[in-house]
Amino acid sequence: MDENAENNGEQVNNKAEDTEENEGELSVDDLRAELEKIDIEVPEVEISEVNIQQEDAYAEFPVSYKENTNKEKLILAYAENFRRQYVHLYRDRKPLFLNPVNECGIEKFVSTTIRPTLLPFQELYSYDNCAEFVADYLEFQALDPPVDLPNQLVSPTTALKSQKGNSFDFGTLLCSMLLGAGYDAYCVSGYATREICLMDQTRDVCPLMKKKGELKSEEKKKEMRKYQVKPPKDLRSKFDLKMQARKEAEEEAKAAERRKEEEARISEMEKPKPDALHGLRIHCWVLVLSGKREVPDSFFLEPLTGNTYPTEDDKFLGIESVWNHQNYWVNMQDCSNGCKDLSFDLGDSAKWEYLLHSSEKPSLEIPDVEAELYEGLDDDEEEQEDDKHLEMPPSWVHPILVTPKEYETRCPLGKKTILYKKARLEKFARYLLKDGMITKLSVYDDYELKNLVSVKEWFVNRQDKLELRVHNHRTGLITEYKLQGRLDCMKEHTYKSGSPGPETDRAMVFYDKARVDGLVKREETPTEMTEHFKDRDDFLYYRHVVFSKRMKRFGASTDANHRPILKISERFHRNKEKSAGEDVSERVFHIAEDRIQLTFHCEDNRVTASTREFIKPPNANDKSQTITMTPDMTSTFQVDTTKKSPKNLYIYNMLVSLVEAEDQSIQAIRGSEEEIKECLLERIREETVSELSISVYDTERNEKAKQHRKELERQQLEEKLRRQEQELDYLAPFLAQMGDPDKIARQQAFKLKEDCLADLKQRLIDKANLIQSRFEKETQELQKRQQWYQQNQVSMTKEDEEEYLAYCSEAMFRIHILELRLNRHKEMAPHKYMALEQKIRTDGRLSDYF
Amino acid sequence: MSRLYDTVEPAVIDEEMLQKAVEEQGPRDEAGRIAKQEGIDFADVLSLRLDFKNILKIDNLWRFTSLTKLQMDNNIIEKIEGMDALVNLVWLDLSFNNIEVIEGLDKLTKIRDLTLYNNKISCIENMDALVDLHVLSVGNNELDQLENLIYLRRFKQLKTLNLSGNPFCDDPNFKHYVIAYLPTLQFLDYRLIDENTRAAANEQYTYPIQQLEHNEEQARKRIEDQEAKEAEFNLHKGAYVENLNGSALFDSMFADDTEGPKLALLPGVDELLTGYKDKYTAICQQIFEYGLKEHQRRGDEVSGFQTAVDEAKEDNRNMGMRKINDFNEYRRKMFAELAQSSDQGHIDTSLEQHNKEIDKLWDSLMALEMQLVDQLEDTIKEFERNMADMVSTFVENVQALISQCRDLENTHNEKLLEVAIVTLEKMVKNELDDELPDDVRMLFVDKDTITNAVGASHDLHLLKIDNKEDDIITRANNWLAALMERVHNEEEVKRNRLRVSEINNFIDHLREEVETFEIQAA
């Protein structure tokens, strides 16, 4: 059988070559006749069960999925020929992945299964997003057995539909998208480690946890200047220094040793278990070559995870072949060393054996002996030579389609969980969860994922602009990161998970540009509060408050029970408009001690700063009394002894303004406390509501827009119905009575008119009667009630009376309306009658007679 | 308002009146009491009101140097005077007086609001110093020339103007004229100028205003050019090479020379002079360029030195401040502790410890200062050496170049003498064809006369060259001496004294505090 097949193959081979050479001369029929022999081989591949499984779906597939065109048949034959030669020449090599069957059981060449498509999503223009999309969208099914090539390769459209596939399906889809986006991408069939093949990432660090490459702090090169003061003399003993340095070096070395050991231990622990099938596991991934789309270096894209790897990565163990939508290359290089030493110059035919000789590919400019030979001949021959190259037929796959909804849902059912080393990553589709979570990363400190360290949750479209929440289970701290645009301008909020209420440990960071008071950060502990400011007009940048325990108050208190303030310190930046000696740098209100301490700024060439201290007069806080001052209430230290001391008036004014400032500071602190409370209340409310905002451009979810659209549709429908109604024939019932005559005689016409008018008249009268009777009924009722009321007026309760009065006014209203309607009807009836008569007169069918 | 001024005795601004006004308008209540107790210094008063006082002459205000607001309305002042000391004045009210001429405001450059309402002013003038004027009120005066308002165009900040009640207000074009010619105005005669009126006014006066603007633009450009030139000249002067980028020196050599022009008339001297001038100017140009280059180098050197010194000072200052901060922290803690404690023994040991700490602080601060002094001394020495080298090189090179000039002059002189002798010989032989003026002919009476004439000219030229050389060298050396003097004085002596006294003052203060504490505790 085998031999037979080979013979047969040989024949086909010859034939194929024949076709190739004499294509111009062959008619299609001949070709078909020749190719029939090839087709016979197809059933040998076991595909029947696949066929049966998808019996019902089979009908739905387009024709191109179920049949092969001539060109495709030709390429299949050519490929088969290639395979035979390959097997013949390289007996010890594994079979090539050339002609798998598709979902309809038809053999298709792998290159034609790639359908370059650019999807209409902005994000999918870059390779990493494409890879991520493919990895998210499809569910992975491992190859079975892992060392054999799959028999079947479904089209990307089918893979998208069923949302599952093996690595080859992943690779084909990703390659199609990358080619569509303009990358120089190839599917690669080869061998990889077990972890890659089985999409096992439990040994990898989660990409979200990787620290961003620490910015290399640019060492500011200190300009070598001509003048430089000499550093002060070092008076320490050189020997001591040396000994110390040696000691430190030793300790350093020891520590390094320990670290190394530790690292070795960990890496030993993390090492995967030995794999019996190492180097045999078949895998398919994507190669992106440099050149197009400004890709600087070639790299591998792993379609199952969406990760990128350099081509030297040791996880990829070898390459059998690569292909894109135009050609197929077989690797001729030694892969015993993994992919490290491979050259990806596909034009080098010594390293890569091509299937189709195509002029499009970059090829090494090796002078072709044959070509030169032909050159001597006439031009016709040469043209034929060009034609002789077999072209890759266009893809049989239909364009890849992804609807916006599908794109948004991404993972099957909108959920996906990936396990990493000591971490679990969960992805959710937008709007899937009520609180808007899209990503959740749980970090553990053991490999079995039992000991939770921290949880990070990312959100989108939250009305409260929450973007990220980090819950550190070790310290119990929760940090929430918020986007700009909140009313309270909050940026970060850190608090203890155990005590979310006010007056506990917390830190809030704000968008200071958006705040009127320029607040950057507010930190709180149970007894202290620190606020940092930026760019304020009054140069304040720091305020620290110490509270004491709240006093217990008995009885009803009108104002809120504030914690008493012990001390307020405020620090200010230098105000260049004042002289340093008058510009306060720090002021401390010792409220409990009734003391105020001022420290002024240092002058530019000074090291000491002037200070001043006030003892607050006892009646200072009483607004109605003026502050009195005595000289012993203040003490000072003046840096500049030559300057005369300021006048008492100046000092007095300072004191007055300080007393005022103290009041203001206390106000501000109370305001801050209030704000914290409000913030917390607001947060609780937001958490319970957790509304998601919907973009006005989101036609799917924007309820308002949707309603509006539906309303418009409904209106249109109604309009349509009304128009239909208008077109109703008012004569139809009367014509029907006459048996719908084709032509209306004079007699009939008159009768028709009379009937019609009489009918209207009757209806008008009926209507008038109806209104009349209702009117009378109401009046009677009212009269009855009135009588009843007069009889029982004395014994009535207030409520009954009110009820009666209400009824009366309502009844009067109804009666009034009925009266109006009746009058109007009486007025309108003759007009209606006349109008109908006029209409009948001008009616096309009766106009002959009137 | 008609008052019979003649019947009322005019008041004089005297000590009593000022004192009263200041006290009345000064602080109230407790602040007033304190102020009264220690007396108010006129130099501290910011605002003063002297209205309805029947004042005739502004006088005795020179002590109010920080005054920003002065109200002298409703008096009988006839002349604006005696306000040159009030340089900080922002707000000046002289309404309802008898002023006829605007004057005496030349020192009041900070004025923003000026009120001259209801006076007898007939011309707006003498206000060039008021560059920051925002509000001007000259209503109810005797202004009758609309053209006079163009004067107000120089006030770029003028927003509010009151002109009502002047004779020219009856002119039908008045409003449009004002609005068109004063585009910065927002309020005229108490009213906001609306856009329609502004547009109409602009349309009416489009052409004259364009003309005016053009002229102003040109004037501005001229001034700018002038300034640029002046700046350049100053730069050259700073480099000691002013007027050397041309033939100015050469020309000056011949300017005072009486014989030179006469000799120039001799045959052949003309070409001689042209060649001489070209070469001479080339050398001058060389000196000029060299001078500018050296000037630049010197500037770089000085700024490099200055940055180094500033940095060292800043570092030192930061270190000192850190030390003081640490100490303050320690002191704060200690006193807080002492306030809690009542154990006398503990207090004593703490205070002792504190005193030790103070000594330590003094030591370290002084050590820092000494260290800085050493560092600066070295740097200054190096700087001085370099600068001296630089200046002496500069001087030498200039001297070399100038001596080239001198050589040229000598050569020229020799040639001239030759020509003169030849001419003399010719003249003696009567072979001279050219007609020479009589005074030139007079030189050729004999050989001595002509030699003397040529020699005198030569001497004069050499003198000029010498003068220039001296000038450059002296100025360069003077500059260096002044610079070094300043550096030594400021960076070494003054700074050091200031710092040492500061440290001592601080330490004294600390000790004093401890003592008072001890007294209190005891």
What element of type H or E holds A50?
Answer: helix A48-53
Q: Rounded distance, CA A683 to CA A688, Å?
A: 9
Q: Is the pLDDT of residue A216 over 60?
A: no
> What pairs with residue A189 in β-bridges?
A284, A321
Once rounded to an integer, what is the mean pLDDT over residues A60-69?
84
- Cβ pair B38:A649 closer than 8 A: yes
Among the ranges given (A45-54, A601-610, A673-682), the one the predictor scored with the smallest mean pLDDT: A45-54
Task: Please give the C-alpha separations between residue B270 and each of A211, B276, B447, in angstroms, as whole numbers.
Answer: 86, 10, 21
Q: Which of residues 321-350 of B touch A (CB under 8 A)?
A: 321, 324
Give the pLDDT confidence of A730-758 residue by residue, as tens digits. 777 777 777 777 777 778 888 888 888 88
Q: Is B382 on the interface with A (CB under 8 A)?
A: yes
Q: What is the mean pLDDT of chain A?
A: 80
Q: Contacts for A346-355 with beta carbons within 8 Å, 24 or more apart?
A: A346/A289, A346/A322, A352/A322, A353/A86, A353/A329, A354/A327, A354/A328, A354/A329, A355/A78, A355/A79, A355/A82, A355/A327, A355/A328, A355/A329, A355/A330
Q: Rounded distance, CA B135 to CA B121, Å?
A: 17
- Chain A residues with CB under 8 Å of a chain B CB are 225-230, 232, 602, 605-608, 626-629, 637, 639, 641, 647-649, 652-653, 656
Tell me, what's the pLDDT at A33?
67
pLDDT band at A394 (very low <50, low <70, confident <90, very high): confident
Tell me, what's the pLDDT at A633?
78
Tell me, what's the pLDDT at A375?
45
φ, ψ of residue A493 in degrees (nearest 5): -145, 115
What tokens were used for B300?
A: 């770089």
Do you find a cis peptide bond into A145, omega within 30 degrees of 0? yes
Tell me, what's the pLDDT at B135?
94
Class of residue A766 by CB neighbours under 10 A (exposed 0-12, middle 13-18, buried 19+)? exposed
Task: Give the DSSP per-residue string, B57-104.
Answer: S--S-TT-TT--EEE--SS---S--S-TT-TT--EEE--SS---S--S
Q: Rounded distance, CA A165 to CA B9, Å?
A: 114
- A299-302/B113-115 β-pairing: unpaired
pLDDT band at A474 (very low <50, low <70, confident <90, very high): confident
DSSP category for residue A627? P
Q: Is the pLDDT of residue A658 over 70?
A: yes
End-to-end CA distance of chain A: 98
Q: Is the pLDDT of residue B442 over 80?
A: no
Give the pLDDT confidence of B24-68 residue by residue, as tens digits. 887 777 777 777 777 788 888 888 998 888 888 888 888 888 899
- Cβ pair A607:B34 closer than 8 A: no
Angle between helices A167-180 and A127-137 (to 10 degrees): 150
> What pairs with residue A144 in β-bridges?
none
- Cβ A172 vs Cβ A153: under 8 Å: yes
Tell me, what's the pLDDT at B117?
93
Q: Which residues of B touch A629 (CB under 8 A)?
A: 30, 34
| Beta-carbon count within 10 A of B349 CB | 11
What tokens were used for B130?
A: 């008021």
Q: Is the pLDDT of residue A372 over 50?
A: no
- Cβ pair A648:B506 closer than 8 A: no
CA dihedral (A809, A811, A814, A816) positive or negative: negative
- Cβ pair A227:B383 closer than 8 A: yes
- Cβ A420 vs Cβ A202: under 8 Å: yes
Distance from CA of B312 to the nearest CA of A (A): 7
Tell me, what's the pLDDT at A416?
84
Angle between helices A28-39 and A2-22 (to 10 degrees): 160
The percent of residues above 70 in pLDDT, for chain B, comes to: 97
Q: Which chain B residue's Cα is nearest to A231? A: B375
Once rounded to an integer, what is the mean pLDDT over residues A713-731?
83
Tell me, what's the pLDDT at A746?
79
pLDDT band at A580 (very low <50, low <70, confident <90, very high): confident
- Cβ A188 vs Cβ A300: under 8 Å: yes
Q: Is B60 on the interface with A (CB under 8 A)?
A: no
Is the ipTM here above 0.85?
no
Among the ranges given (A36-45, A762-771, B13-22, B182-191), the one the predictor scored with the smallest mean pLDDT: A36-45
Give the pLDDT confidence of A437-462 residue by residue, as tens digits. 888 888 888 888 888 888 999 988 88
Once rounded to an integer, what is the mean pLDDT over residues A189-204?
83
Higher pLDDT, residue B247 or B508? B508
- Cβ pair B308:A605 closer than 8 A: no
Q: Rounded distance, CA B296 to CA A95, Å?
A: 80
Give the pLDDT confidence of B464-522 residue by residue, as tens digits. 889 888 988 999 999 999 999 998 888 788 888 988 988 898 888 888 888 887 777 66
Task: Please give the C-alpha separations between residue A737 and each of A380, A742, A753, B388, in angstroms, as whole numbers.
Answer: 88, 13, 13, 133
Q: Rounded distance, CA B520 to CA B522, Å?
A: 5
Strand ranges of the sheet holding B191-192, from the earlier edge strand across to the other edge? B47-49, B69-71, B91-93, B113-115, B135-137, B160-162, B187-188, B191-192
What tokens were used for A493?
A: 């909020």
Give the pLDDT confidence of A82-119 residue by residue, as tens digits. 888 888 888 888 888 888 888 888 888 888 889 898 88
Give me the helices (H) in A572-727, please: 648-689, 703-726
Once rounded to an integer, what is the mean pLDDT over residues A199-226?
63
Nearest to A227 among B305, B371, B503 (CB): B305
Of B276, B288, B281, which is closest to residue B237 (Cα–Cα)?
A: B288
Which residues have C-beta within 8 Å of that of residue B499, sequence separation ≥ 6? A605, A607, B369
- Cβ pair B41:A647 closer than 8 A: yes
Q: Is B301 on the interface with A (CB under 8 A)?
A: yes
The percent of residues above 90 in pLDDT, for chain A, comes to: 11
Tell me, what's the pLDDT at B7?
61
Tell me, what's the pLDDT at B116?
93
Once rounded to an integer, what is the mean pLDDT over residues B122-150?
90
- Cβ pair A605:B498 closer than 8 A: yes
- Cβ pair A229:B34 closer than 8 A: no
Pick among B25, B29, B30 to test the A interface (most A CBs inside 10 A): B30
- The model carries a pTM of 0.66
Q: Rounded distance, CA A259 to CA A254, Å?
A: 9
Task: Give the DSSP per-residue string, A51-66.
Answer: HHHTHHHHTTS-HHHH
Averaging pLDDT over each range in A337-351, A626-640, B279-293, B434-448, which range is the top one? B279-293
Give the pLDDT confidence of A480-513 residue by residue, as tens digits. 898 888 888 889 988 887 777 777 888 999 998 8
Q: Which chain A residue's Cα is nearest to B32? A: A649
* Angle formed at CA A826 by CA A823 and CA A831, multiple of 5 degrees: 130
The percent of residues above 70 in pLDDT, for chain A, comes to: 84
Once rounded to an integer, what is the mean pLDDT over residues A220-229?
62
Give the pLDDT confidence of A129-184 residue by residue, as tens digits. 888 888 888 888 888 788 888 888 888 888 888 888 888 988 999 999 999 888 98
Q: Rounded distance, CA B412 to CA B454, Å?
A: 10
Pick among A608, A610, A654 to test the B interface (most B CBs inside 10 A): A608
Distance from CA of A628 to the nearest CA of B (A): 6
Class of residue B110 by CB neighbours under 10 A (exposed 0-12, middle 13-18, buried 19+)? middle
Task: Please give the C-alpha separations between residue A345 and each of A358, A359, A362, in angstroms, as whole numbers.
Answer: 15, 15, 8
Which residues have C-beta within 8 Å of that of residue A60, sequence separation ≥ 6? none
- Cβ B290 vs Cβ B401: under 8 Å: yes
- Cβ A400 vs Cβ A176: under 8 Å: yes
What element of type H or E holds A839?
Answer: helix A798-842
Q: Which residue has the tokens 């309820």?
A: A703
Q: Rounded distance, CA B135 to CA A377, Å?
A: 100
